[in-house]
Each structure stands twice: as C-alpha cells, then as structure tokens.
C-alpha cells in the first residue's frame, strides 16, 4: 500500500512536469480540454463506485443481473450502460465491481458494449453533426455486434 | 458542464445515503479512495501518454488520410485510426460530420466512429488490471473486426 501511494505521488509529479513543460513551449498547440474533462469526472465517479460497493447487496445484483435474471437482467445491464455518463475506461472498474457482486458474464460484457456504443449523451452530438440517418443506421447495425461480442467473450473468457 | 451535473447528482445521492446511514456512507467513501488508489498510477501514465498523442494524431491528419483513401483499404485505415486515436465525442462528431459533408464514403466514417467508441487501445492497461489480459485483448480485437464489418455494411446501406 505504501509503495502504491509513492507510485501515485511520483505519477502526479510527473504529470505536472509534463503539463508545465508543454504549457511553457511558445508554440504549444496541445488541447487540454479533454484531460480536464476526464479529471472532472473522477470524484463523482469513484464516489459512485464506493456507494455501489457499500450499499448494493450481492443478493440484489445476483437476482436482478445474475445468471438467472434472464432477458430482463440483460435489458437492465444494457440500459445501465447507456445511461451512466463517462468515458469507456471508467466502465472497467465499475464492471469489475459488478462482477464481484455477482452479475452474469454475458450481462457484464453487454454493459461495457452498451456503455461504449450507445451513450445517450454522445448520440446527441452524433445526431447533430452526422444526421439522423447515419445515427439510426449505425445504432441499428451496432446492436447485433455488441450482443455477439458479449456472447463470444462470455463463452471464451473468465476461465478463473 | 456535463461532468459538473454528473458530480452534482452523485453528491445528492451521497447526501441521501449519508442521512440514511452515516457509518455505511463513510465506509463507501473509504472504498472509493481504495479503488481510486488502485487505478491512479496507470491512470496518470495514460494521461501523460494522451498529452503526447494530442500533438501526433488529430482531426486534420485523420481527415487527410481518409479523404485520400479508396477501396477496402479505407475501411481498415478508418478502423485502425479510430482504435489508436482518443478524442471525446464532442470533438469526434464535428470532424466526422465534416468528412461526411466533404464526400468521404459514409462506410469509412461509420468504421471510424464505431472503432473510436468501441476500441480503446490506450486504456488497455486499465482494462487488463480490472478484467484481465485475455478479456482486454479479445474485446478490443472483436470490436475492431465489428467496426470494419459495420463500416462495410454502412457503405452499402447509407
């Protein structure tokens, strides 16, 4: 735990060093808005994970999203992925927490797939800039692939 | 803006929980800190990596490549570009929209957008740590293939 913390501090110092170096370059064109938008999400996100781990019981997850939850559990997982905002790599710690609580393998990959492809907030941008025809076609085409990927991974992975 | 709304909602949820059970909610915060500490080192490395990448690949470069691309190589190029680059949707969508208006094959754009949202090569370290190496590699590979196939179908249908 101590070395973990030391690594964390070293990392933060390195990050600050990089940002400062870039900021001081005279013709710096780098855009940091993305980095800030990531960092802004972090506090709320990790509080959400903590609340989830402390408050939601294993029994609840198993009965609603577990192996026996059937189609309803998959639909829940899918819409949960669509609704929670945030970049994809924040879905992974949440998915790991869900797995520890007993979500089924298929549902967890479906959750990640829905998170990546059908984020409600992101579709608004897509609708605006690419138009309804593009959006509807892409979403309709992506759904079967997301389901297929979830099916294949839930069969092959998770040997442990 | 969206991030602020998100944080505000989480704060409200936390306050509701806190008023219901103080001890349990403080325990939840300790769990939050623990899961953050676990990913923090990788996270920092990835952010540094992203800062360097910002200068390398950006909208103009992708546009230049895709506008020149033809045939089946375009789908592959678009999918790979989408896999390597990381841009948030509010930047990616306008670029993709511009490409669509300038007459680039909609199939290429679909492959690019699909791969951009589904395949995240730069965050594979986080994926490996949370869900395992096999999972991360398989998911990204399958999603890359999906992006190319979706692109090809879009090229026909659009």
Domain check: are B49 and B65 in the same one?
Answer: no
* Interface check A142 vs B, CB under 8 A: yes
Q: How far is B1 from chain A (nearest CA, A)?
A: 9
Higher-confidence residue of A16 and B144: namely B144
Domain check: are B18 and B51 in the same one?
Answer: yes
Domain check: are B63 and B13 in the same one?
Answer: no
pLDDT band at B60 (very low <50, low <70, confident <90, very high): low
User: How many domains does chain B contain in total?
Assistant: 2
Count how many pairs of residues, chain A against chain B, have C-beta atoms within 8 Å.
Answer: 219
Which residues 6+ apart lie within 8 Å of A121 measured at CB?
A85, B2, B89
Residue A159, pLDDT > 80, answer no
Which residues 6+ apart lie within 8 Å of B28 measured at CB?
A47, A50, A51, A53, A54, A55, B14, B17
Closest-approach residue (CA) in chain B for A28: B55
Domain check: are A81 and A16 in the same one?
Answer: no
Domain check: are B108 and B136 in the same one?
Answer: yes
Residue A49 in domain:
yes
Structure confidence at residue B144 (pLDDT):
96
Token pair, residue A113, equals 């797939």
Of B35, B56, B77, the one marking the end of a domain is B56
pTM equals 0.83
Q: Which domain holds residue B12?
A: 1-56
Q: Residue B40: is it exposed, middle or buried by C-beta count within 10 angstroms (0-12/13-18/19+)?
A: buried
Domain check: are A102 and A125 in the same one?
Answer: yes
List, for residues B21-49, the tens digit of each pLDDT value: 999 999 999 999 988 888 887 777 777 77
- In this complex, which of B3, B100, B146 lies closest to A130 when CB atoms are compared? B100
Q: Which domain holds residue A50?
A: 42-156
Its ipTM equals: 0.85
CA–CA separation, B77 vs B92, rounded Å? 16
Structure confidence at residue B122 (pLDDT):
86
Chain A from 10 to 69: CB within 8 A of any B CB: 11-12, 14-15, 18-19, 22, 29-32, 34-35, 37-38, 40-51, 53-55
pLDDT > 90 in chain A, percent: 44
Average per-residue pLDDT in chain A? 84
Residue A3, pLDDT > 70, answer no
* Interface check B45 vs A, CB under 8 A: yes
Domain check: are B7 and B80 in the same one?
Answer: no
Domain check: are A9 and A77 in the same one?
Answer: no
Mean pLDDT of A101-110: 94
| CB spacing of A149 vs B142 below 8 angstroms | yes
**If you average pLDDT over each of A22-26, A68-72, A87-91, B67-71, which comes out highest?**
A68-72
């Amino acid at each position: 735990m101590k070395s973990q913390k030391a690594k964390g501090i070293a990392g933060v110092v390195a990050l600050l060093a990089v940002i400062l170096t870039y900021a001081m370059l005279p013709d710096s064109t780098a855009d940091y808005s993305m980095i800030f938008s990531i960092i802004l999400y972090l506090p709320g996100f990790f509080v959400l994970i903590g609340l989830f781990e402390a408050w939601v019981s294993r029994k609840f997850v198993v009965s609603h999203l577990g192996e026996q939850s059937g189609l309803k559990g998959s639909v829940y997982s899918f819409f949960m992925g669509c609704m929670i905002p945030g970049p994809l790599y924040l879905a992974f710690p949440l998915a790991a927490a869900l797995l520890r609580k007993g979500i089924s393998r298929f549902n967890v990959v479906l959750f990640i797939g829905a998170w990546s492809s059908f984020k409600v907030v992101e579709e608004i941008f897509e609708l605006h800039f690419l138009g309804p025809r593009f959006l509807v076609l892409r979403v309709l085409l992506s759904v079967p692939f997301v389901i297929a990927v979830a099916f294949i991974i839930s069969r092959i992975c998770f040997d442990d | 803006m969206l991030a602020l709304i998100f944080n505000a909602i989480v704060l409200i949820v936390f306050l509701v929980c806190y008023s219901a059970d103080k001890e349990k909610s403080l325990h939840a915060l300790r769990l939050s800190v623990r899961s953050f500490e676990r990913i923090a080192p990788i996270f920092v490395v990835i952010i540094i990596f992203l800062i360097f990448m910002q200068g390398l690949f950006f909208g103009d470069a992708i546009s230049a490549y895709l506008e020149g691309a033809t045939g089946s190589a375009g789908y592959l190029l678009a999918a790979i570009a989408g896999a390597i680059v990381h841009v948030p949707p509010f930047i990616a969508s306008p670029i993709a929209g511009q490409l669509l208006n300038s007459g680039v094959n909609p199939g290429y754009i679909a492959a690019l957008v699909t791969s951009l949202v589904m395949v995240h090569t730069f965050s594979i370290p986080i994926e490996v740590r949370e869900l395992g190496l096999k999972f991360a590699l398989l998911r990204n590979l399958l999603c890359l293939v999906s992006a190319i196939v979706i692109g090809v179908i879009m090229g026909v249908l659009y």
